[in-house]
Amino acid sequence: MVQYKQKCTRCRKNYVLVKSWKDRYPVCYDCDKKEMDTEITDPKMKRMFNIPEELYKKSKFLRSIKINHIRYGELTPNQIKTFKKTVKDLKNPQPEEKEEKKKPKPKKKK
């Protein structure tokens, strides 16, 4: 995985760690935070977005979903589902596969 740092496309001040070539317009956490700092009025959504700030720091995806909601007021069921899944995964990271469990697969001839 290629990781590199690029200047935030919004403030052009902070550097953002870019993890994917798809992330063409990286925005730093500070800029996202400003936009996320809006009262959510939908009680259901409010509950969903009420997660530790740490998680928003960790995940650009979670921030983008919240910003999407603030900007457009609605989310697709799939976005909601993925949001919840991402939160769950960040809270309970999958334990690394144990070394002894990793058996090298015998190479088969082509």
Residues at the contact surface with Zn ion, assessed by CB under 5 A: 8, 10-11, 14, 28, 31
Minimum distance from residue 30 beta carbon to Zn ion (Å): 5
**Residue 64, Cβ density class (10 Å: 0-12 exposed, 13-18 middle, ≥19 buried):** middle
Tell me which amino acid residue 72 is: Y
Q: Toward Zn ion, which CB reaches closer, 14 or 82?
A: 14
Q: Toward Zn ion, which CB reaches closer, 64 or 82?
A: 64
Q: Would the CA dihedral through 52, 47, 68, 86 be positive or negative?
A: positive
Minimum distance from residue 5 beta carbon to Zn ion (Å): 13
CA distance 48 to 42: 10
Q: Toward Zn ion, which CB reaches closer, 16 or 45?
A: 16
Minimum distance from residue 7 beta carbon to Zn ion (Å): 8
